[in-house]
Structure 1
Amino acid sequence: MPLYADLPARRTRQVVGDAGCLLVVVASVLAGRAVHAAVAGVADPARRFADGSTALADGLRSTGGSLGRAPLVGDDVAGLLDRSADSAASLARAAGEQRDAVLHLATVLGLLTALLPVLLVVGVRVVQRLRWAARARDARRLAGTAAGDRVLALRALQRRPGRVLLAVDPDPAGGWLTGDARVVADLADLELAALGVRRVTAART
């Protein structure tokens, strides 16, 4: 299956279109990364709070363990510090969950920002290129058969603008109906040129 046209004009348009598609992909990926970084930045305060609360809980437990050995009030002070440490740990868990939720949102938004344009643009481009490749392949096969010119000429009559057809002959449809070899061949060449396909010289004879 052909990837690019034989004729320079059509091939250039295809290359430019493919390059534009590639630029959209690159721009979408960069935009997705920027969105991810921006949203993930919102999680920084929650991360710092979680780290601070965890450090506070650890410090309170360590202090409680040390004071628990003190006579008379050691157990009471240790219990109070342990309860305070549990509260700090709960705050750390809540902040950690908030941080994880924001990071998950950042990942989802970043992927959506990057993938949606890529899937849309690349999907449309791939369909266009596959359709052209199938038509170009069929046109090449038809141009190499005895009756292929008539089929290609008929396609030209169906698809090409009237002013282009009239440049071939004042009555292109009549020439095709009567089997005028020149009109049929010129119409076939018109369809091949529109597809960017170069006729093999031997096929014309």
Structure 2
Amino acid sequence: MTKENKEENKQILDLIKKIDQDPKKVDNYLSLSTKLIEQGSFDQAKELLEKARGLVKHPQDLDYNLAVCYYLQGNFEQALALLEKIPNDDLSMYQKALVYLKLGQNQKALAYALSIKKIDNQVKELIGDVWLSLGELSSAKEAFLSIEEGKRSAKVNFLIGVALLESDKGQADRYFELAKEKDPSYYAKALDQYTSLMKLISNKENKE
């Protein structure tokens, strides 16, 4: 176990103790569920939050974290039901856009994504994803390219390639290669995931 893992486990144990000492304090549930989510323990985080809803004074304060759990587990309708109760801010609109994108309601996803005020790289990537889902390759390319070159993930480079396929196949291939160099495993999965879309774009290009 690394030093970081030991520290992480210690923090989790400390939070569990705090919850045992004061089971009605919301902040400890939020902190612990966030750590569990970061570790990929979505089931544990969900179980914790659902149990906490019956203990804390304002269970709605747990809704965002619980919605994230539902989203990460693929329970998009449940996630949306909670998110709709939360007032719109950048955080909730980002999550709503993610959920609507997964539900195939791409126009709603776009509306929320474009309403986010603080645009960081994560938001730029989301906006690119939504534009791509709508078949708007130029807008998708613009969103992805707005992410600084050194901070582009394999996914972003790959999707820039997809967005460029129609207009500049040579450039598209360059970005595919960058994605492959950065993360060969992701590249292989992405080829499978986006095969249909890439064929559609290529066929459209050939017809023109």
Calculate the TM-score normalised by the size of structure 1: 0.30
Q: Which has the higher helix share?
A: 1
